[in-house]
Amino acid sequence: ILNVEQSPQSLHVQEGDSTNFTCSFPSSNFYALHWYRWETAKSPEALFVMTLNGDEKKKGRISATLNTKEGYSYLYIKGSQPEDSATYLCAFSNAGNNRKLIWGLGTSLAVNP
Amino acid sequence: EAGVTQFPSHSVIEKGQTVTLRCDPISGHDNLYWYRRVMGKEIKFLLHFVKESKQDESGMPNNRFLAERTGGTYSTLKVQPAELEDSGVYFCASSQSGLAKNIQYFGAGTRLSVL
């Protein structure tokens, strides 16, 4: 069974706080890990695609790390802003079917001004 | 450049009726995917087209669902007859040919409510 677990399920922080979420995935047959940012009624927006163990990617105040051996990825947001409020979704694909994304439930982030 | 567009954005139908969802991928993207998110659950893969061919339809729930991509451009997903459990948000995504790690670009989804 291929499961993707995300924690926490939801998070409330104050503007300016830094925060991080976790995505756990099966480490065997790993191919790629995707992070998306999703606001309801809008298109999920791709943040990062990572494939290599130890990969670190950064986009503005958001960064992500990847550990394929132990099967986890962290997403960090530095100095959260109200506009960061959204659901952050991770999805992984395995080498057996590397285009089919398997998703976690997401972490819902609310940033209070 | 236009992104992935989906139509309609919202559809409310009664159990037993038929609904057809449409997806226009980004121009030039050979790969097209359908996903579904049922409220409170994770997004689930439905199927994957490469041009007009179904590459993987392992996620299609049952034979009430029919996806087509004639000519390898836009795609339709028809649900006939719709059941209550078909309610959810249906997402379409597209990606370039080549590496499987290419980003999948998503549309805003069609929210289907079956009453």
- 3-class SS of residue A110: strand
Are B44 and A32 in contact (CB < 8 Å)? no
The residue in chain A having the minimum alpha-carbon distance to the alpha carbon of residue B49 is A99
Distances (CA, A) of A22 to A34, A107, B55, B107: 13, 9, 31, 25
Distances (CA, A) of B43 to A48, A80, A96, A101, B21: 18, 26, 19, 9, 17
Query: What is the tens place of the pLDDT at every residue in A2-17?
Result: 789 999 999 999 999 9
Residue A78 pLDDT > 70: yes
Interfacial A residues in 50-69 facing B (CB < 8 Å): 51
The overall longest dimension of chain A from CA atoms, in Å, is: 44
Please state, for a pLDDT cut of 70, what percent of chain B lies above it.
97
Query: What is the tens place of the pLDDT at every residue in B26-37?
Result: 999 999 999 999
Size of interface A-B (CB pairs under 8 A): 64
Tell me the helices (H) and strands (E) count for chain B, helix number first.
0, 11
Residue B94 structure tokens: 């597209």
The residue in chain A having the minimum alpha-carbon distance to the alpha carbon of residue B40 is A105
| Residue range A30-52: mean pLDDT, rounded | 94
Are A46 and B105 in contact (CB < 8 Å)? yes
Q: What's the gap in Å between the CA of A69 and the closest CA on chain B?
A: 18
- Side-chain-facing half-sphere of B12: CA atoms under 13 Å: 1
Comparing C-alpha atoms, which of B27, B24, B84, B33 is closest to residue B58?
B33
Q: Are A50 and A37 in contact (CB under 8 A)?
A: no
Are A43 and B58 in contact (CB < 8 Å)? no
Residue A65 pLDDT > 90: yes
**For residue B1, what pLDDT band results from cuts at 50, 70 and 90?**
low
Is A101 within 8 Å of chain B by CB?
yes
Q: Reply yes or no: is the peptide bond before residue A26 cis, omega within 30 of 0.
A: no
Residue A45 pLDDT > 80: yes
> Quick one: which H or E segment has residue B48?
strand B43-50
Query: What is the tens place of the pLDDT at every residue in B41-68?
Result: 999 999 999 999 999 999 999 999 999 9
Ranges of beta strands (E only) in B52-87 are 53-56, 65-68, 75-79
Are B42 and A42 in contact (CB < 8 Å)? no
CA angle B38-B96-A88, nearest 5°? 40
